[in-house]
Amino acid sequence: MTAPVGVVEGADGRLRCPWGTSAEDYVAYHDSEWGRPVHGDDALFERISLEAFQSGLSWITILRRREGFREAFGSFHIPTVAKFTDADRTRLLADAGIIRNRAKIDATLANAGVLVGWEPGELDALVWSHAPDPATRPAPRTGADVPAVTEESAALAAALKRRGIRFVGPTTAYALMQACGLVNDHMEACDFR
C-alpha cells in the first residue's frame, strides 16, 4: 500500500512529512518537537538564535550542533548571554562545536543585550501575538502548500526588528513560527499533525 499524498512511511510504519524521515536526527525532531508550542523567553531566544544560524545552511547542520550551541551560549539564558564579553565573543568565534559566523554570533550577543531589558514574558507575548488563527490555515497536503513567508511572519520580523532584534527576516520568522508551533505545517496525512 502506498502512503497518502504528501507523506512518507517511516521504518516504524508511521506516516511523516517527507523531510521527517530523511535522517535519524530529523525523525526525533519531527515527531516530538517541530510544530509543538514553545513558550518562555529563553526558549524563544534559543529558537530565534538557531534559526538565524541556520540561514543559508541546512537545519540538520544546526540540529546536530544544538548541544554545542547550548553549551557555548550558556543554555541561551538571556541574562547570561547579555553579560558575554569580548573574550566570550573570541571564544565563540573559535568554537568548532557551533557555526563560527561572525555576523550571526554578533547578532546573537546583540539580541541578548536587547532582550535583557525587556520585561519577563515580553518576548513570548510578542512572538505569540503573531500566531495566525488556525482556522484560516488549511492543513498542507504537499510541500508545495507550505509557504516560505506569510503576512504574519513578515509582521513578526518587522516587530522584532523595530524592537532591536537582528538577523530575523520574514523567512527566518516563518521557520521560527513552524518550529515553535505558531503554525502547524505537518502534512495533512502526517501522523504527528
Domains of the chain, earliest start first: 41-180 (1.10.340.30)
Q: Provide the whole-model pTM.
A: 0.95
- Going by the annotation, the residues of the binding site for Zn(2+) are 17, 30, 186, 190
Smallest CA-to-CA distance from 102 within 52, 66, 142, 140 is with 52
Q: Give the pLDDT score at 4.
A: 85
Name the grid cell of 173: 520568522
Q: Give the pLDDT score at 2.
A: 72
In the set 26, 51, 152, 174, the catalytic residue is: 51
Distance CA 122, CA 149 (A): 24
Give the pLDDT mean for 104-112. Answer: 98
In the set 29, 46, 152, 174, the catalytic residue is: 29
What angle, rounded to 10 degrees, do the helices at 41-54 and 59-72 form?
130
Give the pLDDT mean for 87-106. Answer: 98
In the set 26, 34, 46, 59, the catalytic residue is: 59
150, 137 Cβ separation under 8 angstroms: no
State percent of the chain over pLDDT 90: 96
97, 73 Cβ separation under 8 angstroms: no
> Active site includes 26?
no
Q: Is the pLDDT confidence value at 39 over 60?
A: yes
pLDDT (tens digit per residue) in 14-35: 999 999 999 999 999 999 999 9
Q: Give the pLDDT score at 69.
A: 98
